[in-house]
């Protein structure tokens, strides 16, 4: 003997619709929380990483002061070399480039990087080539380029700040440093 609650068929249909709706909603929520990043296929060049920090930070710089900042770059791949990359830093008109130093840092295995580094300047644009066919920019390799520039005129903005960023480009992509 089977008993049916009042409106049993309608209640059953309503329950199925609600269950279907809840399942679809759960799938949508799960799907929307995923971060979708293209996978790096074997044999693809590595991806770059870049950071920037001022080494001699002051509240304000005056005409004639030297600003020293560090561009930290890395081949973020753990499998493939970045190969040969280009780091481009266009200086603000309030600055004059004076010098740079490259510091190769050790990777997690304690090995010092080997990438060749060459430099050129055209006006306010500073360009470094990182890596070569003989000594590529290797996966996991990190190096710092410390740049010195002299303040030739004080900025006229209220904070007396000079914005500057650099872009590192390798065959796998490019990244721009924070300002």
pLDDT of amino acid 4: 41
Nearest by Cα to 48 from 113, 147, 130, 128: 130
* Sheet of strand 48-54: strand arrangement: 48-54, 66-75, 142-151, 95-104
What is the signed CA dihedral for 71, 75, 78, 81, rounded to 10 degrees? -160
Beta bridge partners of 168: 87, 175
Residue 27 pLDDT grade (very low, low, confident, very high; cuts 50, 70, 90): very low
For 79-110, the pLDDT digits (tens) are 788 889 999 999 999 999 999 999 887 666 77
Beta bridge partners of 149: 67, 97
**CB 48, CB 175: distance < 8 Å:** yes
Distance CA 53, CA 58 (A): 12
Distance CA 164, CA 21 (A): 51
pLDDT of amino acid 26: 44
């Amino acid at each position: 003997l089977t008993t049916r609650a009042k409106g049993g068929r309608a209640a059953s249909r309503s329950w199925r619709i609600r269950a279907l709706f809840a399942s679809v909603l759960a799938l949508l929520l799960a799907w929307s929380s995923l971060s979708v990043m293209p996978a790096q296929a074997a044999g693809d060049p590595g991806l770059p990483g870049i950071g920037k920090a001022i080494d001699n930070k002051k509240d304000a710089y005056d005409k004639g002061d030297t600003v020293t900042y560090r561009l930290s770059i890395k081949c973020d791949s753990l499998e493939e070399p970045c190969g040969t990359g280009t780091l481009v830093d266009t200086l603000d008109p309030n600055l004059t480039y004076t010098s740079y130093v490259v510091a190769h840092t050790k990777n997690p295995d304690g090995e010092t990087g080997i990438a060749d580094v060459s430099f050129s300047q055209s006006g306010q644009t500073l360009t470094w080539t990182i890596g070569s066919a003989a000594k590529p920019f290797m996966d996991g390799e990190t190096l710092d380029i410390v740049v010195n520039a002299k303040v030739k005129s004080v900025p006229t903005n209220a904070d007396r700040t000079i914005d500057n960023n650099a872009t590192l480009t390798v065959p796998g992509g490019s990244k721009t440093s924070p300002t």
